[in-house]
Every structure is written in C-alpha cells, then in structure tokens.
Chain A
Amino acid sequence: MPTIVVDVMPKAELLDPQGKAVAGALSRTGRTGFSSVRIGKRFELTVDGPVDDELRASVQQIAEEILSNSVIEDVVNIDFGDEADESTEG
C-alpha cells in the first residue's frame, strides 16, 4: 500500500524551544559544531488505493489545513512515494 509522507516544520523565524533544548544538550555533552537544532513532524499516511490526482489534492489540503497550522508552521515537503513505487518497493 502506498505511503504518503508529509513533513511539517515550525516557521523558520519562530523560536523552537524543543530544538533549542536539544541544541543545549548537544553542547553540554561536548558535541560541538552545531549552530542550531530544529524539531518538526513527519506524518505517514497509508492509503488504500492508488495515488491519483484527486488524492494528491486531498492530501495537499489536509497537510495545509489539519496537519499544520500556517500561523506557526510550514508544510516543507509532501512525498507521494512515486519513486519508491518504481524502484525500491519492487
């Protein structure tokens, strides 16, 4: 069954307290060389049928209206799994 992956990140200009906390832990444990860490979300939507244009439009809308809040986040990528269908899955 095809899996669609949606990536959502906090807006670049906003403080990401979670990422900041991780960055602090990295530096405390001596892992230097990282100027920042940002934490986002990955959604995997497994679909029953084929990924057609109608479904693509629907996922686009779901990503923008439900999976993310445009006030605080951006949808940075939607992977419809086209390449995986042809190469790695077979």
Chain B
Amino acid sequence: MRIGVITFPGSLDDRDAQRAVRLAGGEPVALWHGSHDLEGVDALILPGGFSYGDYLRCGAIASLSPIMTEVVDAANAGLPVLGICNGFQMLAEAHLLEGGLIRNDHGSFICRDQVLTVENTETAWTSDFEAGQQITIPLKNGEGGFIADADTLDRLEGEGRVAFRYVDVNPNGSMRDIAGITNARGNVVGLMPHPEHAVEPGFGPDTAAAMRSGVDGLGFFTSVIRKALVEA
C-alpha cells in the first residue's frame, strides 16, 4: 500500500511519518505541498510541525496550499487521510473536520507521553485497536486546545465521532478531553498526539516492561494497510 506524506514549509515530522508507514509494512510516498499531484497514493498523512511558522493561525496557510485542493477532493471521495498535530489543525482549517485548535489553556508548550482512549475503532486509521483500548503516545504542542460550540460537541459525541480522548490529564484544555475526531465517513481522522513517534522499540514512550519500548502508535498505520488489503 502506498501512503503519501505531504511535506509543507515547516513540517517537522514528515520523515517520522514515512518511517512509521515503512515499519507498518507500507510504502511511503513523499509528496510536496506546492504540487497538484497525489501520485495515485492509497492514503494520505498530513504530518506535524509548524507549517508557515504557525502564522495567521496554526495550519491556516498550509490549508490553502496548492495540493490541498486535491486533498479535499480525495478526502470527500473517501481516501483515508490522517492529520497529526499540525496536520489536524490543517484538516480543521480546511473544514474537513469540525472545530478548531487554540493555544493551550495553561499558555505553555507541552511535551509528554500521553494516555488516550480509542473510542471509535470503525475509522480507517483505528480498526486495529479495541474499543476503549488505552494507548500511550507522545504529545507535543503549544496550540492543541480543541474547541467547538456546544451543538457541534454534542453532535460529535452523539455520532461517535470522538475518536480519541485524553485519560488522566487534559494536557491543553481541550473541550470534553477530546484528543482527536473523525469525519462521519470514518476516512478522515485528526488528532493532536503523535502516533508516528511510538512505532519502534527503543524509540517510543516508556512502558511497564522497558524504557522507550512503547509502540502503541503502530496500530494507526497497520489499520489503514490491513483495511486496504481486506477491501482489495
């Protein structure tokens, strides 16, 4: 399965996302923001970072990039799209996902290994998890506070579209502890924490078994690959 990872000016985690795809058994394809060509990939990842220096609003200028025209069309046609951190902010700015991300309520950048509950396992990126499963992956952001009006929050929860919720600690003031959401179809998923940083023993979060052995993020990438194989 060929999974495209789009690099924007200021992307930081594009190569980490490519590595995660490779470790999950897929073929990463490097895509460029200034192009209009998705190169026929089977899924897309919008990686983390600080595109355009977070000018205007996080993800706002990137969401107006040339390639986003094709990303929006492909997402609306059902192509699996995962937005991580800055990528989630881009999906929100592009109106592919509801809500917005604002500065953390405590005002500081935060970097920690974060426990999440996977609440929706029907999406393209979460089918390898069990409903209610708790996973630990790194979180690192300055503007990760998820907000939406009360009606939108009720609708997201009512439709089971809160894909991930923070456990124990709400690290950024996100409303209703929301860490990530999905669109109604389940092909577009965005979250603030970083699954691509928890995919290889020795380089992930600490676990009870051993230091840095956490690979809970791998399930995101194996999910989309397995689903493609089943449907092929």
Name A residues whose Cβ lies closer than 8 Å to a Cβ of B. 10, 14-15, 17-18, 20-21, 66-67, 69, 71-72
Contacts and interface: CB of A to CB of B under 8 A. Distances in A.
Given A14-B147, A15-B173, A69 B106 contact: no
Contacts of B2: none
B60 A18 contact: no
A69 B93 contact: yes
B100 A17 contact: no
B131 interface: no
Contacts of A15: 102, 105, 145, 173
Q: How large is the interface on B (under 10, 10 to 19, 20 to 34, 35 or more residues)?
A: 20 to 34
A54 B57 CA distance: 27
Given A14-B147, A15-B173, A69 B105 contact: no
A87 to B, nearest CB: 32
Contacts of A66: 56, 60, 64
Which of B98, B102, B149 counts the most chain A CB atoms within 10 A? B102
A20 B105 CA distance: 9
Given A15-B173, A66-B64, A71 B100 contact: yes
Contact of A10 (B60, B92, B102): B102
Task: Give 7 nearest A-B pairs by CB, closest first.
Answer: A71-B100, A72-B100, A17-B103, A17-B107, A21-B107, A72-B102, A69-B57
Contacts of B100: 69, 71-72
27 contacts: A14-B102, A14-B147, A15-B102, A15-B105, A15-B145, A15-B173, A17-B102, A17-B104, A17-B105, A17-B106, A17-B173, A18-B103, A18-B107, A21-B107, A66-B56, A66-B60, A66-B64, A69-B57, A69-B60, A69-B100, A71-B92, A71-B98, A71-B99, A71-B148, A72-B57, A72-B102, A72-B147
Contacts of A67: 56
A67 B104 CA distance: 21
A36 to B, nearest CB: 15
Interface in B88-117: 92-93, 98-100, 102-107
A17 B147 CA distance: 13
Contacts of A69: 57, 60, 93, 100
